[in-house]
Amino acid sequence: MLSSYTAVIGAFLLSRVATWNTDVHNQIGFMAESFLTSSTTSVLQHILEPEYNGSIGRAAAWADAYAHTDEGRFSYQWHWIDSHDDPPHTCNLSYTHDCSKGGCIVSAIANQTKILQGCVADVKEGILQKGSNTTCSYALKWVSHFLGDIAQPLHASGRAAGGNFVNVTFNNRPTELHAVWDGLLPYADSGVSRFSNLSIDPFFSGLLSRIENDQFYEAPYMWLLCTDPSTPTECATRWAHESNIWTCDYVYRDIDNSTDLARSGYARGAFPIIELQISKSAVRLGAWLNNVVEGSIHYTSEQVEL
């Protein structure tokens, strides 16, 4: 009986690794590539395995598949941090109290960033070429993935295991709240059933245009106030806290399990949040990698080339 229970729990934990759908991760990576400097792009090409053709967009979804392998099972819990709060009534996230013993998304970003910094040094010294160091390629792929995950509000919430135990209906389909935010909302917002994993899609090109033209209610340069790789825990905790606040401000506040979330107005209200969080993660990923390669930069509204 105990072994059956353990198997069920293990299967649930691995299923929870489903994050932004894989193609959403790809698109965040493609968006981030537009913010990379030429020197950053050149260095990253030596860190990634040749199969990715130097593209963090093509590599950004790797971490989900890896977590479902026997080899990568240890990394499944790195995709989130479980806050001990009660949205929509109270929202609070503490790295010290909420990061599990085996790690969480905040510690994973911090640890893999430090590894990546050493890998960049190896590339610059000619020691590392053509993705020959698996530890380095994994670090880059994890960083590219986790900076996307941390922007998904339910990856910074412990309630109902990040919404996986909240049953809802979306477009007449029974599902879980987590799945709604991972992919169903982006698909509904864009009007497609899936995105490319090879190149940027029009919906995400449109987000880039809005970033460049400062068409979000938050100025994009504000998203870069903490992008110093020398303080990765501080920055990742700040990003997780921002995401966690959305679980009180919207994710759980306006949910009604008796209605179809695609038709009740919930989805329409969530679209601007999805667009904001995806755009934030792409801008931050680009800046983060630039700073890892070129050294930390203090961004101002005039300095940010978007």
pLDDT tens digits for range 99-116: 999 999 999 999 999 999
Domain map of the chain by residue range? Answer: 2-294
What does pLDDT average to over the chain? Answer: 91
**Over 70: is that where the pLDDT of 7 sits?**
no
CA distance 186 to 275: 8
Do the beta carbons of residue 21 and residue 81 sit within 8 Å?
no
Q: What is the tens place of the pLDDT at every residue in 131-190?
A: 999 999 999 999 999 999 999 999 999 999 999 999 999 999 999 999 999 999 999 999
pLDDT at position 201 is 97
Q: pLDDT > 70: what percent of the chain?
A: 90
Q: Are strands 173-176 and 167-170 parallel, antiparallel or unpaired?
A: antiparallel
pLDDT, mean of residues 10-32: 74
Of all residues in the chain, what percent carry a pLDDT higher than 90?
Answer: 87
8 Å CB contact between 141 and 60: yes
Mean pLDDT of 264-271: 96
148/68 Cα distance (integer angstroms): 18
CB 163, CB 87: distance < 8 Å: no
Question: pTM of the predicted model, to two decimals?
Answer: 0.91
Q: Extract the tokens encoding 147.
A: 């900076």
Instruction: Say what the pLDDT of residue 18 is.
Output: 53
Give the integer Cα–Cα distance in Å for 238 and 210: 24
Per-residue pLDDT band at 304 (split at 50, 70, 90): very low
Least confident piece of the model among 15-24, 57-66, 156-165:
15-24
What does the alpha-carbon distance between residue 170 and residue 117 come to, in Å, rounded to a whole number? 42
Residue 300 has pLDDT above 60, yes or no: no
Determine the Cα–Cα distance for residues 220 and 284; give it in Å rounded to an integer.
Answer: 10
pLDDT at 19 (0 to 100): 63
Please check whether residue 286 is in contact with residue 33, taking contact to mean a CB–CB distance below 8 angstroms: yes
The CATH number of domain 2-294, selected from 3.40.50.2000, 3.40.50.2300, 1.10.575.10, 1.20.120.530: 1.10.575.10
